[in-house]
Structure 1
Amino acid sequence: MVKSVFFFSRSEKIVIVVCLAIIAVCGAVWAYSLIHTGRNVSAFLTPSPFPAVEIPETVVVHVAGRVKKPGLYELPLNTRAVDAIKEAGGHLPSADLDQVNLARVLEDGERLYVPDRKERGDAPAVEAVSREAGKSPSKPPPRRASVDLNKATAAELEQLPDVGPVTAKRIIQFRKDNGEFRKLDDLIEVPGIGPKKFARMKPYVKVE
């Protein structure tokens, strides 16, 4: 049978009061710490049914191509391409940054490739300068309508205006992937060949 509070001895009453005071002080300290640290009390009273998910604060990126120190780099989250290139020691003088979106935010596991200017396949820059100076071009164009797009080798394609090794390789690869060219205008579908380049190539090519 539970004793009434009036029947406790003086020493027992003192012990009860001290225990209640300790409990009250501990509760006040706990509530004060929650309020001043900005945490929600209900979060402690109601357990979450889902485990906490940790958001990674870094990304691992493979920087390759025309940079001084290509390799894997662990970078802060939301790092942009320009910062990754700087982390890799910066770009080399031959790097073509116009083909890279320097403002792009990189993702984890991504490969950032910095190409060389030669990969555009725009080799005739020297040829254009020599023509303006009145000198003979370093690569004379072939006879008109003499290069068959369906049979030409890479060396033969490189004789065309504005065609270097990269563009010649792309033409041959396009031919392998899509079959023979049916008309000259199909040449515009090759990556890297736009209307202006096609106009300079057109007089020297044919489709048979």
Structure 2
Amino acid sequence: MSGKVRRPGIQHLPSGARVADALRAAGGAREGADVTGLNQARVLTDGEQVLVGLPAAQSAAQSAAAGAEGSGGSGTAQAGPAAPVSLSTATVEQLDTLPGVGPVLAQHIIDYRTEHGGYRSVDELREVDGIGDRRFADLRPLVRP
């Protein structure tokens, strides 16, 4: 947990913990921090970084940089999900939060996963019907295998 929280740093939480649990473990948001873009009901994934109270543009830039390093996501970015979406476990609803992905394309992503035994690399998204170079470039920083 980082950004405008009382105790930033790594929080050790049980499996199934939600963003609200991490926020509580970090002592809550600092006074004046804007948490309206933070989906506190979202279930966390292991190793993700939640950024609290940062402007959307700054948060999105940090999220993209973190995604390129494979190390986390943003809790306040407005352009996509709050953390990288796992192609190996995501539901249609979770995939539908990605820009340019609707329920039909989300189902294609899941069908590919089922047919090929999962995703070993984000690059495999290029093989999914309906994902061209441009859409892949938009999705790449927002997903993980």
Which structure dedicates a bigger proportion of its chain to strand? 1
On whether the aligned pair clears a TM of 0.5, the verdict is: no
Which structure dedicates a bigger proportion of its chain to helix? 1
**Please, what TM-score do these two structures have when normalized by structure 1?**
0.31
**Please, what TM-score do these two structures have when normalized by structure 2?**
0.45
Higher RCO structure (Cα 8 Å, ≥6 apart): 2
Question: Computing the radius of gyration over CA atoms, which structure comes out larger, 1 or 2?
Answer: 1
